[in-house]
Amino acid sequence: MSSDDRLHGRLGRTGLSVSRLWLGTVNFGGRVDEPAAHRLLDHALGHGIDVIDTANIYGWRVHKGWAEEVIGTWLDRGSRRDEVVLATKVGHPMSDAPNDGGLSVRNIVASCEASLRRLRTEWIDLYQIHHVDRGVSWDEVWEAMEILLRQGKIRYVGTSNAAGWDLAAAQEAARRRGLLGLASEQCLYNLVTRHPELEVLPAATAYGIGVSVWSPLHSGLLGGVLRKRAEGTAVKSAQGRAAAALEVHRDVIAEYERLCAEFGRSPAEVGLAWVLSRPGVTAAVIGPRTTAHVDDAIRALETPLSEAQTARLEALFPPLGNGLPAPDAWIG
């Protein structure tokens, strides 16, 4: 297998080729300024990472939409648009206005047009529903997506943070309309959070939906948090999801970091390599703040874990239930 084969694959059942690492932009704004963001984008694309994953709300530490604006100025600097697969998201409120969020036809279409203006492009390759809106039917969602598909403003549709039954409901509604349906689902999945193995991954596999993983290191919990805290260099892992989880999993994380040292690899490399090895996973979304973080992620992809190493990780972070998809996970 060539290095390029390891770095790229098809997005689910579609013909779209995507890199197995996606450059996530959630840190753009506040943690990564515009010049640094442009350097990250240059570095990632130069190393074969050709999917840029963002959302209309990213950059909220400056203002909502800032990340898309920064990507737009980067795209404007050269003829890069045809080199990248551009993915963004819709659904989170962009203001306090009653129709400026959710998944109504009005908001999906208007949000797409606003994202296109910020991104300075004529089309979005993968338009993702950021969260399922329980108050809106899938028929309404597909009505909006059909408009955008016919107009050539989007190429594929994806979800994020969906349940397994959401994927099934979305696909069946798309089938009734004669549509391709979902190309991808983006979910939280890592050694600490293995819930997608119960229903999301099996549903995605059954329907031919590609899966990209966000927070593969659980916001830094699996990236050497204890060492970084001791050194005073922790950033993301010092707050939020990682800080809360550390209180529960401190002993296991300490053993994990010792195990990674025994492997001769960084915790970030090991955690990311594990996610990329999982059945049904198309790609991992990385949220680097430096080009060195990008290089670490590439090493994780190019140097898979051995079976023995994987087995030791599985013993330390066992799957839910019996390690089988639902309902066999709990009935044996």
Q: Could you tell me which residues are beta bridge partners of residue 28?
A: 32
The crossing angle, in degrees rounded to 10, of helices 164-176 and 138-150 is 60
- Is position 329 within any domain? no
Position 177 in a domain: yes
> Does residue 277 belong to any structural domain of this protein?
yes
User: Is residue 328 situated within a structural domain?
Assistant: no
Angstrom distances, CA of residue 312 to CA of 141, 191, 198, 215, 324? 43, 12, 21, 22, 18
Burial of 98 (0-12, 13-18, 19+ CB in 10 A): exposed
| Percentage of the residues of the chain whose pLDDT score is greater than 90 | 88
pLDDT of 78: 80
Q: Are 214 and 24 in contact (CB under 8 A)?
A: yes
CB contact at 8 A, 260 and 266: yes
CATH classification at residue 169: 3.20.20.100
Is there a domain that residue 321 lies in?
no
Residue 94 has pLDDT above 60, yes or no: yes
Bridge partners of 120? none
Range of the domain at 302: 3-220+270-306
Domain contains 208 = yes
Tell me: pLDDT of 187 over 70: yes
Average pLDDT over residues 49-58: 98
Are residues 257 and 226 in contact, defined by beta-carbon separation less than 8 angstroms? yes
Is 58 annotated as catalytic?
yes
Q: What is the mean pLDDT of residues 179-186?
A: 98
Say which DSSP state 287 is in.
-
Locus of tokens 């960084």: 266
Tokens in use for 153? 């403003």
Nearest to 103 by CA among 130, 83, 84: 130
Mean pLDDT over residues 161-174, rounded? Answer: 98
Helix/strand/coil for 95: coil
Least confident of 133-142, 236-245, 305-314: 236-245
In 3-state terms, what secondary structure has residue 194? Answer: coil
pLDDT single digits (tens) 117-140: 999 999 999 999 999 999 999 999
- Of the candidates 58, 127, 156, 207, the residue annotated as catalytic is 58
Q: Is residue 34 part of a domain?
A: yes
Report the domain count for the chain. 1
Beta strands 182-188 and 154-160 are parallel
14: left (phi over 0), alpha (psi -120 to 50) or beta: beta
Tokens 């430096």 correspond to 290
Average pLDDT over residues 200-215: 98
Q: Which of 135, 136, 97 is nearest to 114 (CA)?
A: 97
Strands 17-19 and 8-10: antiparallel
Question: Would residue 162 count as lying in a domain?
Answer: yes
Q: What number of other Cβ atoms are within 10 A of residue 27's Cβ?
A: 21
The predicted structure's pLDDT at residue 216: 97
